């Protein structure tokens, strides 16, 4: 096949004499015209798509940029040119305008050279060419030496600043608190330690985590605020790396706290961190070690790695225990929060040599500004709410609830009780309960087990959840607790609106696991609470709701009634760690308060202790509770359950304080019944 001919276009143009002519264009469309001799050629117009020619200024800038890209030599050259362009003319003007300048042209040129040389530190010697050259050489050597020295010093300072910024320098502190890792508990732990150090001297908290130092400092500064006398020091590094551990000086610390990882499957990293810590500080470490794991299967390994004197907490079990107790005791989470943070009243273990020989009931009444709740025997055995007739022996210590340890003193006279208003009402037998669980996560099985250990036989738990089978089979009995499963998504209106709130004694709302919802479990929890709130409004029946959350900031926006119970696992464990870090004896105390079969915190009707409708002192309530083998530690006013911030909960009131006891008020007690 022949190659196709290229079409030619015919263009019409004007000649010099104004007559129309023809020209033929070739394949490229470029006009061909025979030029007459002596007639100047008309400039051809550039094609419409021809590239624009760069302006001279743009070309100069482009050439200059390419020159600078050549490296240090080009930079030095341009710097020299720029200096000479300024210095030489200025020196010439100074010499030529100086009345004392020499008259000869060469003499003035030599003066200009001396001025240039002194300005640029090039010697400026005048005379024979060899002398001038040597002076310039010496000046260049001096310039090179000084510039190199300055560069080395600048580089060293810059590297040091970068190392400090990266958080690789060593903390030289004694008696400080070391926090290893970064998790939801970090802000709570640091804030509580700052609060505990508020009435003491200067303190320090050294945080080691595999995060940017500046980001850690900024986040803690935002979350904690003013730290007072406590300095927050952040260092970058993996807590499982012994070399990185040296940066926070754990061997000279007073307390070392190992925070839990974000997921249960990462507890092996906690064990590795504890092994690295033991390798760094040795077996004779003076610091108290406190670690937290999520999965109970790693607790023994973590305990062995941390050493015999260390304390290892299991966050999932603690959270499940508290959720189970709060589901049956509305307001209990508020009591625990009051006892765990350093802002109000908390537990102390104090010496009590003057109490030896007295009964526990007598000791209760002589501490008018604090509340005695137990005894630590000389052999270390802890007993909460012991029998009222048990004796305090030499070497025993008292467990008290007080605003501060300096308020745990004996009063000159014991508090007086009004026996005329004390009642001896028989405590009714526990009745079966019907509870509702909305949602499911990896802690739900523990919650069900702990519920079965507290409820009366015949109780029923309805579970509404979607996804994998949360309970197998659909109906299961746990030590008298019947579990009934109903499949449904608690974030859908159709699921929640089908519930009858009137039949439930308590409702538990759980969020999904992080990996199951993309890392924001509280979002689904808030949706479920919003639907529950709407159901309460339309049905006219309110429910005692306890909600498990991961972020305490979501508690303020939760659509529930004031005073509702929340168990924020991150904040709860952070508060526990802070309390135990100050007194390791509190580990066994909280373990007993949350464990089944031991002493528990309960809210009981005030009518079980004093006649309602009467005025009586809190000492009277303490005396009445002591007759039952219980320790009264506070009360909750039902008419203030909607009033923030305590929602009617008062822990460790003054025993001499007299108040009106209403029919719906509760007394907070530590009991073994």
Task: Encode pLDDT of 224-273 as tens digits.
Answer: 888 888 989 999 899 999 999 998 999 899 999 999 877 666 889 999 99
Contact indicator for 88, 124 with CB cutoff of 8 Å: no
Ordered alpha helix ranges (H), 498-594: 514-517, 521-539, 569-582, 586-594
Q: Would you place residue 398 in the very low, low, confident or very high pLDDT band (cuts 50, 70, 90)? A: very high
Q: Which of 551, 572, 593 finishes a domain?
A: 572
Query: How many domains is the chain built from?
Result: 3
Q: What is the pLDDT of residues 636-648, one digit of tens each?
A: 988 887 777 778 8
Half-sphere CA count of 375, side-chain side, radius 13 A: 25
Total length of the chain: 673
Give the tokens for residue 85: 């362009």
User: Is the domain of 110 the same as that of 190?
Assistant: no
What integer best gives the mean pLDDT of the chain?
Answer: 80
pLDDT at 574: 87
370 assigned to some structural domain:
no
Give the tokens for residue 390: 């048990």
Range of the domain at 279: 172-309
213 assigned to some structural domain:
yes
Residue 45 has pLDDT above 70, yes or no: no
Residue 465 has pLDDT above 60, yes or no: yes
Model-wide pTM > 0.75 = no
CATH value at residue 258: 3.40.50.720
Q: Which of 104, 137, 164 finishes a domain?
A: 164
- Quick one: average pLDDT of 1-23? 41
- Quick one: average pLDDT of 138-147? 62
User: Is the domain of 139 the same as that of 227?
Assistant: no
Cα distances (angstroms) measured from residue 86 to each of 39, 67, 124, 139, 164: 53, 21, 17, 20, 41
User: Is the domain of 555 the same as that of 448?
Assistant: yes
Residue 201 has pLDDT above 80, yes or no: no
Higher pLDDT, 63 or 449: 449
User: Is the domain of 464 the same as that of 557?
Assistant: yes
Q: Which of 556, 572, 588 finishes a domain?
A: 572
348 assigned to some structural domain:
no
297 assigned to some structural domain:
yes
User: Is the domain of 445 the same as that of 568?
Assistant: yes
326 assigned to some structural domain:
no
- Quick one: average pLDDT of 297-318? 89
User: Is the domain of 468 the same as that of 561?
Assistant: yes
CA 577 to chain centre: 14
534 assigned to some structural domain:
yes
Contact indicator for 511, 521 with CB cutoff of 8 Å: yes
605 assigned to some structural domain:
no
User: Is the domain of 227 the same as that of 150?
Assistant: no
543 assigned to some structural domain:
yes
Ordered alpha helix ranges (H), 225-346: 242-245, 267-281, 299-306, 315-328, 332-340
Cis peptide before 54 (omega within 30 of 0): no
User: Is the domain of 225 the same as that of 256?
Assistant: yes
User: Is the domain of 197 the same as that of 127?
Assistant: no
As a whole number of Å, the CA-based R_g of the chain is: 41
Contact indicator for 495, 501 with CB cutoff of 8 Å: no
pLDDT at 15: 40
Higher pLDDT, 282 or 12: 282
- Quick one: average pLDDT of 43-67? 65
User: Is the domain of 83 the same as that of 100?
Assistant: yes
Q: What is the pLDDT of residues 615-673, one digit of tens each?
A: 999 999 999 999 999 999 999 988 887 777 778 899 999 999 999 999 889 999 999 87
Strands (E), 599-672: 600-605, 615-617, 631-636, 649-651, 658-660, 666-671
- Quick one: average pLDDT of 374-396? 91
Residue 199 has pLDDT above 50, yes or no: yes
> What is the rounded distance in angstroms from the CA atom of residue 311 to the CA atom of residue 291?
6
Sign of CA dihedral 478, 484, 489, 492: negative
Q: What is the pLDDT of residues 556-605, one digit of tens each?
A: 888 877 667 788 777 888 888 888 888 877 888 888 887 777 788 999 99
pLDDT at 117: 64
- Quick one: average pLDDT of 189-205? 84
User: Is the domain of 441 the same as that of 560?
Assistant: yes
> What is the rounded distance in angstroms from the CA atom of residue 671 to the CA atom of residue 673?
6
User: Is the domain of 112 the same as that of 198?
Assistant: no
């Amino acid at each position: 096949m022949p190659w196709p001919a290229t079409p030619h276009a015919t263009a019409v143009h004007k000649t010099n004499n104004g007559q129309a002519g023809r020209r033929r264009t070739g394949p490229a469309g470029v006009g061909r015209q025979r030029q007459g001799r002596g007639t100047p050629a008309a400039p051809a117009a550039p094609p419409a798509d021809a590239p624009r020619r760069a302006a001279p200024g743009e070309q100069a800038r482009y050439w200059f940029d390419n020159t600078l890209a050549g490296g240090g030599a080009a930079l030095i050259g341009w710097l020299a040119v720029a200096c000479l362009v300024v210095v030489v003319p200025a020196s010439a003007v100074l010499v030529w305008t100086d009345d004392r300048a020499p008259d000869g042209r060469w003499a003035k040129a030599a003066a200009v050279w001396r001025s240039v040389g002194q300005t640029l530190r090039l010697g400026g010697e005048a005379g024979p060419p060899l002398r001038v050259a040597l002076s310039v050489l010496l000046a260049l050597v001096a310039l090179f030496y000084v510039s190199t020295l300055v560069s080395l010093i600048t580089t060293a300072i810059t590297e040091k600043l970068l190392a400090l910024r990266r958080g690789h320098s060593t903390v030289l502190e004694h008696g400080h608190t070391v926090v290893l890792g970064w998790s939801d508990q970090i802000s709570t732990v640091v804030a509580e330690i700052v609060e505990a150090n508020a009435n003491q001297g200067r303190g320090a908290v050294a945080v080691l985590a595999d995060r940017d130092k500046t980001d850690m400092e900024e986040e803690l500064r935002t979350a904690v605020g003013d730290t007072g006398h406590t300095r927050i020091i952040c260092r970058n590094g993996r807590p499982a790396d012994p070399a990185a551990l040296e940066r926070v000086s754990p061997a000279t610390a007073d307390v070392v706290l190992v925070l839990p990882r974000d997921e249960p499957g990462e507890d092996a990293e906690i064990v590795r961190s504890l092994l690295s810590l033991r390798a760094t500080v040795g077996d004779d470490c003076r610091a108290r070690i406190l670690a937290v794991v999520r999965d109970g299967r790693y607790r023994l390994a973590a305990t062995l790695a941390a050493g015999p004197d260390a304390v290892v907490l299991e966050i999932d079990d603690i959270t499940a225990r508290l959720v189970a107790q709060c589901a049956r005791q509305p307001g209990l989470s508020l009591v625990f929060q009051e006892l765990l943070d350093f802002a109000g009243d908390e537990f102390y273990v104090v010496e009590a040599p003057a109490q030896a020989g007295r009964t526990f009931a007598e000791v209760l009444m002589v501490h008018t500004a604090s509340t005695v709740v137990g005894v630590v025997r000389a052999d270390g055995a802890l007993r909460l709410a012991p029998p009222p007739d048990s004796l305090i022996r030499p070497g025993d210590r008292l467990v008290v609830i007080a605003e501060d340890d300096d308020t745990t003193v004996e009063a000159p006279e014991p508090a007086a009780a009004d026996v005329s208003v004390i009642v001896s009402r028989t405590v009714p037998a526990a009745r079966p309960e019907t509870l509702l669980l909305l949602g499911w996560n990896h802690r739900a099985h523990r919650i069900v087990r702990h519920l079965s250990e507290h409820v009366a036989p015949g109780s029923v738990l309805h579970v509404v959840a979607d996804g994998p089978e949360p309970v197998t089979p659909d109906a299961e009995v746990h030590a008298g607790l019947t579990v009934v499963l109903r499949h449904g998504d608690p974030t859908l209106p159709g699921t929640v609106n089908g519930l009858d709130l009137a039949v439930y004694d308590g409702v538990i709302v759980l969020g999904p696991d992080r990996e199951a919802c993309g890392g924001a479990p509280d979002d689904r929890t808030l949706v479920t609470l919003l639907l529950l709130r709407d159901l309460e409004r339309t049905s006219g029946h309110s429910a005692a709701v306890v909600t498990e959350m991961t972020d305490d900031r979501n508690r303020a926006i939760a659509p529930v009634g004031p005073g509702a119970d929340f168990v924020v696992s991150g904040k709860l464990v952070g508060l526990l760690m802070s309390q135990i870090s100050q007194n390791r004896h509190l580990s066994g105390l909280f373990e007993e308060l949350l464990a089944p079969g031991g002493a528990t915190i309960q809210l009981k009707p005030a009518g079980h202790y004093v006649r309602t409708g009467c005025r009586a002192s809190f000492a009277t309530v303490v005396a009445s509770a002591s007759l039952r083998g219980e320790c009264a530690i506070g009360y909750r006013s039902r008419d203030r359950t909607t009033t923030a911030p305590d929602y009617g909960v008062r822990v460790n009131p003054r025993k001499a304080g007299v108040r009106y006891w209403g029919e719906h008020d509760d007394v907070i007690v530590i009991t073994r019944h």
